[in-house]
Amino acid sequence: MRRIVRLMLAVAFILYVFVVLHETLLSRPPIFDGAYELYPFASYRRAMRAPSHLARIEVRNLFLNVVMFVPFGVMLPALFPRLAKFYIILPLALTATVAIEVAQFLTHRGVFATEDILHNFAGAAIGFALYKVAKEVPNVNRPKISKRP
């Protein structure tokens, strides 16, 4: 049974990676000419100044950038328990999101945005926290066995 669950998780993670690559690179035409946004939280300022329909788009994009990396923080340590340490998972998440942003910049299929890196990183951190909490849930109701001297 464990083997089947692990296989399903591996397939889900591979599909997740393909969806992320599709949404961040493959589905976009090369229309950006080396665009970059180095000011963190610039989209927050744009959202506050924009008309409501544009502000909703900005907020939606911010939310999706966070949500996009939550599965990374959950599935990677679930697949590879040896990696289930914050000092391993979070640098891996940072590397993955920087790689996506650099690829977008080099292929002209997106904007290199430091804000996206921060939001993706936050999503991975949230996902890893959820993983850690979920891993502890089975232990909550487990009776403590004390060893008597």
Q: What ranges do the domains of the chain cover? A: 38-133
Amino acid present at 146 = S
pLDDT on residue 117: 96
pLDDT at 8: 94
Instruction: Read off the pTM.
Output: 0.84
Beta strands in 15-117 (DSSP E): 36-37, 112-113
Band (pLDDT 50/70/90 cuts) for residue 144 is low
Three-state DSSP string of 76-122 = HHHHCHHHCCHHHHHHHHHHHHHHHHHHHHHHCCCCEEHHHHHHHHH
Average pLDDT (3-22) is 95
pLDDT tens digits for range 81-104 = 999 999 999 999 999 999 999 999
Q: Model confidence over 24-80: pLDDT tens digits?
A: 999 988 887 778 888 888 888 777 777 777 777 888 888 999 999 999 999 999 999
